[in-house]
Structure 1
Amino acid sequence: MEVAIGSQPVLVLSGLDTLRQALVRQGEDFMGRPDLPSFRLIANGQSLAFSPEAGDAWKARRKLAQNALKTFSIAASPTSSSSCLLEEHVSKEAAYLVTKFLQVMEEEQSFDPCRYLVVSVANVICAMCFGKRYDHNDQELLSLVNDSNEFGDVAASGNPSDFIPLLRYLPSRSMDLFKDINRRFNMFIEKIVQEHYATFNKEHIRDITDSLIGHCQERKTAGEDTNLQPSNQSIIAIVNDLFGAGFDTVTTALSWCLMYAASYPDMQKRIQAELDQTIGQERRPRLSDRGTLPYTEAFILETFRHSSFLPFTIPHRTTKATALNGYYIPKDTCVFVNQWQVNHDEKLWQDPSAFKPERFLNAAGTEINRTESDKVLTFGLGRRRCIGESIGRWEVFLFLTTLLQQLEFSLAPGEAVDLTPQYGLTMKYKKCERFQIKRRLPSNGSL
């Protein structure tokens, strides 16, 4: 359907077939981004995710970001028994969280796990991007990660002033905040990138930032087409994108997983029984366990579907005049992709408002039904699909299984939980300070 937001017509796409047709089969036609004033503030207008640019230089930068992300997540870990670097980073942070949760629980009797989750998840992407881990009390990191909520509120589906030009001349608290967050974010990343330049050694690539700098220098030496070469500024923008996308989505997904686990204790017990039977207590979960924990995987998929914490993708734009399902769509039309509708479509899901992980399992409950799981939309589709999708999924799996293997989550007695999502770029539930946890006693697999 078409709606008018202010002075701008916006096309809203719903329905799985329509989305696949537009974003996959006609991907080139729908891969643009609208040139919104608020988007120009992100990473100084150089953001891969938000930039209206979609030409060869953009494709080269996206490929570069993808390769760097892959290298520093699935690369073998030289120092531990983990199967890859991502597993090593997540295992360390998850082990830290177990200790931290138990300590906070003892002191406060109930608490909000999200404020600790966000720093641990940010630390995983920090380890990959910057080769360092921050203390949970580090003020610089804390202020940045906590500001990400404000960022999401403004970036959700554009700011009113993006669509009503007159508003750009009026004072706006949310826009001032948005500008300030982006300025501080850029400064934070820029400082780290400059430090990397100062200590760069091409024989010893430490992290994603080093990898991007090295690639930049190699290209210059090889004298490749300068228009396609990433500049120092675009390195900062790529790191900014990876860091920004790398923690808010995963934190939100994990916080929903814990909320559903606490709200549905029988499901939590079933995940723990599966963990006890498959892994036991002697070792921590690994990425290689994913295929052998079907119910856990189904629970995560149902969390993604039911919460639909990414209700819309970042807005798209048509790159040329095109036709979709028999309708003419002019060039430069702003397009909203409605993932929430697909995840709650009664034609696709039986009783979509119920939380039922079993819907993703085969009849025997031993395997994930891939036809069903492919219908869940979280990370977009087509050319602009999130480049960190597989890493995000792995992180959620590893954090959740490590926490549930050792801890039992519940809500304080009499606590009525409001699972209505708060609208934003990622939808979160209302702040809940009433989580309680206790350590699980080692069992003999008879849970």
Structure 2
Amino acid sequence: MLSSVVSLALIVAFVVAALVTRRKRPLPPGPKGLPLLGNIYDVPKSREWLAYQHWSREYDSDVIYLNLAGTPVVILNSADAAYELFERRSALYSDRPKMTMLNDLVGCDWHFVFMGYGNRWRERRRVFHQYFHPSAAMQHRPRALRGARFLLNCLLDAPDDFMGHLRHMAGSLIIGVAYGLEVQPKDDPYVATAERALHAMAMAGNAGSFLVDSIPMLKYVPSWFPGAEFKRKAMEWKKSTTAMVEVPYKAVKRAIADGMAPPSMILSLLGTLDGNDESTHLEKLYSGVAAAAYTGGSDTTVSALGSFFLAMLLYPDTQRKAQAELDRVIGNDRLPDFPDERSLPYITAIVQEVLRWRPVTPLAVPHRLTSEDEYHGYRLPAGAIVVGNGWAMLHDEKRFPDPEEFIPERFLTPDGQLNSEMKDAELPAFGFGRRICPGRYLASASLWISIASILSTLEIYKPLDDRGNPIQPSGEYTTGLVTYPLPFKCGFKPRSRTAEELIRTAEFHLD
């Protein structure tokens, strides 16, 4: 009897000691902040990733803690921390915070990327995966190839509108895959609708940008109330996100009714409906998944190719090295194709470096910690918003020396082959864990074939001003969930008469 009492006392003492020790674990370091309001005035309204990276260095910690008016926020600034928490402990870190601005006010609750982890998310992710997993993405390569070759013509005919051409190419690819719709060569309404929605989502989805995400009760403030500018913005942005879901979907439904609908993801999905009571639910699900498909591929392609053009202006030697490889492997009597990828490691390294140098999403979409956890002796509270700072990870001097420089060779071995030790080093550009971007395979394929096609046939150069001096790009970027280079001048000209002929005749070979 005595031994049982002693054993019970030891167990109780151990549990109490464990609880006391757990309670004593400190939170990760971070700026002190104000009473009640915490750090809401410490977080800048733009380029937040740079502030988080600065604090990581200042406090000598790859994990930073912020208090946004009572909402705990944990920033992960290293690939090691992201791998340990988002990958190895994914059961705890795969949820999403509420994101009041984006989901409630801007109306993006249909987008599975921003949904909480659970059956509703799994159902949509499963549908998406059917059409965009690696093998399925291979089937979309012919469309990506055609888009890249059409882009070459556009760059020759109207070089000043190169960012517009990128949007058109990316939009036509994913709208074709998801809806089977053909877009107009210029000023297409579907592309314009989606671009407005993408802008709204980029502005509303960045962690820490809007106080209403930290104090959800603010969503009830009238839009006319002083300081309620966020409500007025949300009302306008919601029109765009709603149209993004409804407009192309209704167009496909009309085409189906007329017997004119070409093959697409939506056509395939709607063909599985049998008119039962669940059909209405599934139609809503499918229309949301199709709209989410656009955001998964188009923004990556447009942002990354914009950064690619910028890099080629700033690093002309890189352009020449890439063209030398293309000339050696492809020659001058044809255009690159996907089977050439294994023979063009320098082109692949450029793609990887573009994603690293100027990541499309410097801050990943926030995760939510479902129960209290511990990392390197720090206490991570349950319910905390956990954000992967992809910018900091991809600009880590230890892994990427001279991180601000564009150096594709960092992904190659000394003999010019892809370095297996750097495989997927640029992956933080696509998010983390179970919530990594599922559209990355198609986006990467489109990015690769576009870069290979452009460098094979065109010279990218700085145009001259009125005095004959090269116009220098600012190199600055927009802010938000997805970032783009600020407008800059960029010139394009055929590398040879043969190259121009290849561009002009390429479309006919795809019919």
How far has the Cα of 1:60 moved from its partner?
3.3
The AA in structure 1 aligned to 2:375 is: L
Identity %: 23
How far has the Cα of 1:331 moved from its partner?
2.6
Which residue is equivalent to 1:389?
440
Conserved? CA contact 2:458–2:492, under 8 Å: yes
CA distance in 1, matches of 2:272, 2:335: 35
Which residue is equivalent to 1:368?
418
SS in 2 for 1:368: coil
Alpha carbons of structure 1 residues 71 and 195: separation in structure 2 relative to 1, 3 Å: farther
Alpha carbons of structure 1 residues 199 and 386: separation in structure 2 relative to 1, 3 Å: farther
Cα deviation digits, residues 120-151 of structure 1 (max 9, x gap): 11000011111122013344224324422343
How far has the Cα of 1:199 moved from its partner?
5.8
The AA in structure 1 aligned to 2:100 is: P
CA distance in 2, matches of 1:115, 1:238: 25
How far has the Cα of 1:119 moved from its partner?
0.8
- For 1:145-156, list aligned pairs within 5 A: 145-147=194-196, 148-156=198-206
SS in 2 for 1:429: coil
- In structure 2, list runs of 5 or more residues that go unmatched: 1-63, 222-227, 465-469, 500-511
SS in 2 for 1:3: strand
Conserved? CA contact 2:296–2:440, under 8 Å: no
- For 1:95-110, list aligned pairs within 5 A: 95-105=149-159
CA distance in 2, matches of 1:231, 1:299: 41
Which residue is equivalent to 1:132?
181
Cα deviation digits, residues 186-234 of structure 1 (max 9, x gap): 2224413533663689xx98111122223454xx88x9xx79x962111
The structure 2 residue matched to 1:91, chosen from 142, 145, 148, is 145
Larger Rg: 2
Which residue is equivalent to 2:270?
213
The structure 2 residue matched to 1:421, chosen from 453, 477, 496, is 477
The structure 2 residue matched to 1:438, chosen from 493, 501, 505, is 493
How far has the Cα of 1:71 moved from its partner?
8.8
- Answering whether residue 109 of structure 2 is matched by residue 45 of structure 1, we say yes
The structure 2 residue matched to 1:317, chosen from 344, 352, 368, is 368
SS in 1 for 2:241: helix
The AA in structure 2 aligned to 1:231 is: L
Count of residue pairs brought into register by the alignment: 419
How far has the Cα of 1:333 moved from its partner?
1.4
Which residue is equivalent to 1:11?
74
The AA in structure 2 aligned to 1:56 is: N
CA distance in 1, matches of 2:201, 2:73: 22
CA distance in 2, matches of 1:213, 1:196: 12
Conserved? CA contact 1:281–1:442, under 8 Å: no
How far has the Cα of 1:248 moved from its partner?
1.1
Alpha carbons of structure 1 residues 200 and 24: separation in structure 2 relative to 1, 3 Å: farther
Conserved? CA contact 2:179–2:249, under 8 Å: no
The AA in structure 2 aligned to 1:152 is: A
How far has the Cα of 1:242 moved from its partner?
0.4
The structure 2 residue matched to 1:268, chosen from 319, 334, 344, is 319
Conserved? CA contact 1:3–1:9, under 8 Å: yes
Conserved? CA contact 1:2–1:9, under 8 Å: yes
Q: TM-score normalized by structure 1?
A: 0.86
- For 1:223-372, list aligned pairs within 5 A: 231-365=282-416, 367-372=417-422
CA distance in 2, matches of 1:73, 1:304: 23
The structure 2 residue matched to 1:116, chosen from 165, 169, 175, is 165
**Deviates most, 61-70 or 10-19:** 61-70
**Deviates most, 229-238 or 269-278:** 229-238
The AA in structure 1 aligned to 2:448 is: F
SS in 2 for 1:188: helix
- Answering whether residue 251 of structure 2 is matched by residue 195 of structure 1, we say no
The AA in structure 2 aligned to 1:17 is: D
Alpha carbons of structure 1 residues 280 and 133: separation in structure 2 relative to 1, 3 Å: farther
Alpha carbons of structure 1 residues 166 and 320: separation in structure 2 relative to 1, 3 Å: closer
CA distance in 2, matches of 1:264, 1:274: 16
- Of structures 1 and 2, the one with the larger relative CO (CA 8 A, separation 6+) is 1
Alpha carbons of structure 1 residues 46 and 145: separation in structure 2 relative to 1, 3 Å: closer
Alpha carbons of structure 1 residues 19 and 426: separation in structure 2 relative to 1, 3 Å: same
The structure 2 residue matched to 1:28, chosen from 68, 72, 91, is 91
Q: TM-score normalized by structure 2?
A: 0.76
The AA in structure 2 aligned to 1:436 is: G
CA distance in 2, matches of 1:324, 1:216: 47
Conserved? CA contact 2:296–2:438, under 8 Å: no
- Answering whether residue 113 of structure 2 is matched by residue 59 of structure 1, we say no
CA distance in 2, matches of 1:210, 1:47: 20
How far has the Cα of 1:325 moved from its partner?
3.0
- Answering whether residue 213 of structure 2 is matched by residue 162 of structure 1, we say yes
CA distance in 1, matches of 2:380, 2:316: 48
Cα deviation digits, residues 348-370 of structure 1 (max 9, x gap): 222222221111100111x1113
CA distance in 1, matches of 2:96, 2:162: 35
The AA in structure 2 aligned to 1:18 is: A
CA distance in 2, matches of 1:258, 1:216: 44
